[in-house]
Amino acid sequence: MSGLKYSDQVIVSAFRGPWTLLKKELLRFWRVAFQTIAAPVITALLYLLIFSHVLESHVQVYDGVPYTAFLIPGLIMMSVLQNAFANSSSSLIQSKVMGNLVFVLLTPLTHLQFFLAFLIAAIIRGMVVGLCIYLVAMWFVDLQLANPWMIIAFALLGSALLGTFGIIAGIWADRFDQMAAFQNFIIMPLSFLSGVFYSIHSLPPFWQKVSQLNPFFYMIDGFRYGFFGKGDVSPLISLSIVGASFLVLAWITLRMLKSGYKLRS
């Protein structure tokens, strides 16, 4: 440190602040990895075992793609999204209820740095859970990878979108039961009604239209396209919708953080 010029030191400390917050957020879920990584992986595998056992011989969504193979990308993406949301939202609500968020609010961290630290931690948590499910699922089914870049792009953007949504929920909610309502009445229905377990083409026309209003549908469909090279809609349309949704939510979150909504008065 002492060898650096003063201006360099300022730059080093400017990075060290947000980096420390990110590191703390990562350690927070890593310390309880049994609950934050192992538990969602087990849940996804249970879905996989039960649904593939019941439906494997009855359902075929795409030609030449067994149902179990069809199901796996959907389950991975659903877990990526749910865990990205869970990471930022539960970290914020816990430190709000405990009161220790004040120690972050007292620091010189800017609202953008605050946002990026929680966002990146949420993305990493989602990616780690998704990767673990993928590695375990490889034991069961040989999955093709038609377009790995699409897979990575959708996993990144999807977890960023849900991580941002988790920050909004964490700032807005004052109590644990409000956060549970967010989980049960928004995140769960949207993720289950998104085509994780089926193609929306199997739905009646009305419900197809409804599904097309669900942003989760585009994330799941685009992610699945990366594996099989086919989907219900064009992956570029999906990517644009997911990307635009992320930008809108990120803008809202930054506005909330800048104004100090519910955090400062």
Q: Which two tokens stand for residue 41?
A: 């992986």
Among residues 6, 103, 139, 206, the one that binds other proteins under rule CB under 8 A: 103
Nearer to other proteins, 95 or 147 (CB): 95
Nearer to other proteins, 23 or 255 (CB): 23
Q: Where are the beta strands (DSSP E) in the chain?
A: none
Distance CA 243, CA 254 (A): 16
Residue type, 222: G
Q: Is 3 in the site for other proteins (CB under 8 A)?
A: no
Q: How far is the CB of 11 from other proteins (least distance, A)?
A: 10
- Encode burial over 168-206: b for 16+ CB neighbours within 10 A, e otherwise: bbbbbbeeeeebeebbeeebeebbebbbbbbbbeeeeee
The verdict on 13 binding other proteins (CB under 8 A) reads: yes
Q: What sign does the CA torsion over 183, 185, 191, 197 have?
A: positive
With CB under 8 A as the contact rule, which of the stretches 65-73, 97-105, 121-129, 130-138 interacts with other proteins?
97-105
The DSSP result for 11-37, as a single string, is: HHHHHHHHHHHHHHHHHHHHHTHIIII
Tokens 């038609």, located at residue: 146
Q: Mask: binding to other proteins, 50-89, rule CB under 8 A, as x and -?
A: ----------------------------------------
User: 61 with 227: CB under 8 angstroms?
Assistant: no
Return the residue of 4, 46, 105, 186 that touches other proteins, per CB under 8 A.
Answer: 105
Q: What is the spatial distance between Cα 211 and Cα 220, in angstroms, rounded to a whole number?
A: 12
Q: With contacts defined by CB under 8 A, name the span among 15-23, 147-155, 177-185, 250-258 that binds other proteins.
A: 15-23
The distance of closest approach from Cβ of residue 121 to other proteins in the complex, given in angstroms and rounded to an integer, is 13
Residue among 111, 131, 128 at smallest CA distance from 21 = 111
Q: 209 is written with which tokens?
A: 């239209």
Collapsed DSSP state (helix, strand, coil) of residue 190: helix
Tell me how far, at minimum, the Cβ of 99 lies from other proteins, in Å: 4
Is the Cβ of residue 32 or residue 38 nearer to other proteins in the bound state? 32
- Residue 5 touches other proteins, criterion: CB under 8 A: no
Taking CB under 8 A as the binding criterion, the range among 63-71, 104-112, 141-149, 215-223 that sits at the site for other proteins is 104-112
Contact by Cβ (8 Å): 232, 195? yes
In the stretch 230-249, what mask flags binding to other proteins with x, by CB under 8 A? --------------------
CB of 25 to other proteins, least distance (A): 10
Q: Is 12 in the site for other proteins (CB under 8 A)?
A: yes
The residue from 4, 8, 31, 185 that contacts other proteins (CB under 8 A) is 31
- Binding stretches for other proteins (CB under 8 A): 1, 12-14, 16-17, 19-21, 23-24, 27-28, 31-32, 95, 98-100, 102-110, 260, 264-265
